């Protein structure tokens, strides 16, 4: 049995893309379709501001690959505080979900994850040697 958090950490340590949206560089691959057929940019963001349209009137592929959806996806990386860009764990974290980036970094820049940053650093500091060993084993 594999645990998603550990499995994707090993995969990312191997230099491969994340298996989950929260640890990926970009987001926007987990569209949500609500009961009223409205399509949203992400299953964490079911808000009118990120509605892509209605599946009854617009083809899902058109919405999934729309410029609006591309901007949404790239914004995850492009809105990171400089503090994250200097972190040695950035490529394993990508500051998780932008929805939870509501506090300031130590240097005062907005956009840090309100509950995970310090814990993720501690996790990767501690688990790093084991992750690298597993990555070599499965490479």
Active site residues: 43
**What does the buried/exposed string (b/e) look like for 19-53 if buried means 16 or more CB atoms within 10 Å of the residue's CB?**
ebbbbbebbbeebbbeeeebbbbbebbeeeebbbb
Q: Cβ neighbours of residue 90 under 8 Å, at least 6 residues apart?
A: 80, 84
Measured distance CA(60)–CA(73) in Å, rounded: 16
Q: Are 113 and 101 in contact (CB under 8 A)?
A: yes
Going by their DSSP bridges, the two strands 51-54 and 38-40 should be labelled as: antiparallel
Measured distance CA(77)–CA(50) in Å, rounded: 17
Q: What is the DSSP letter of 103?
A: E
């Amino acid at each position: 049995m594999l645990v998603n958090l550990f499995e994707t950490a090993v995969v990312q340590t191997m230099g491969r893309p994340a298996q989950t949206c929260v640890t990926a560089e970009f987001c926007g691959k987990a569209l949500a379709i609500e009961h009223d057929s409205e399509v949203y940019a992400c299953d964490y963001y079911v808000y009118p501001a990120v509605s892509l349209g209605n599946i009854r009137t617009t083809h899902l592929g058109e919405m999934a690959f729309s410029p609006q959806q591309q901007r949404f996806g790239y914004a995850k990386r492009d809105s990171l505080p400089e503090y994250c860009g200097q972190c040695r764990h950035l490529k394993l974290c990508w500051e998780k979900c932008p929805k939870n980036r509501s506090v300031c970094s130590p240097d005062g820049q907005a956009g840090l994850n309100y509950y995970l940053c310090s814990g993720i650093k501690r996790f990767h500091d501690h688990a790093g040697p084991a992750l690298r060993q597993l990555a070599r084993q499965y490479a």
